[in-house]
Structure 1
């Protein structure tokens, strides 16, 4: 199933300070990002995916693998 064809029905909302909002707006303008919802969704999900990959359990601990 293509990601763009998924019907999104669940809403999330956040509150930002004025400074945080300005940071986001400057970033979007600098990189010419016009779809804020898509950018926020992809950014959040990429962050979660990256952390889950790093936290994935391994057979050996990090200390054992560095020997």
Structure 2
């Protein structure tokens, strides 16, 4: 599956789904930040990418008004 193929699940309740995704994205940013601090250099770059992607998801969906 390509990144462009990903989309939020259409639960019929966009407000609730968006809030769930925003909560998950913020949590992931915190978790990846903590993991980066204690990780070996060879994986910290990958964790930084995941952290940045989670932040992007949060920002993108916070501005979205529908599925």
| Greater percentage in helix | 2
Specify the structure having the higher radius of gyration (Cα): 1
- Give the alignment's TM-score, normalised by structure 1: 0.39
- Give the alignment's TM-score, normalised by structure 2: 0.39
Structure with greater contact order relative to length (CA < 8 Å, sep ≥ 6) = 2
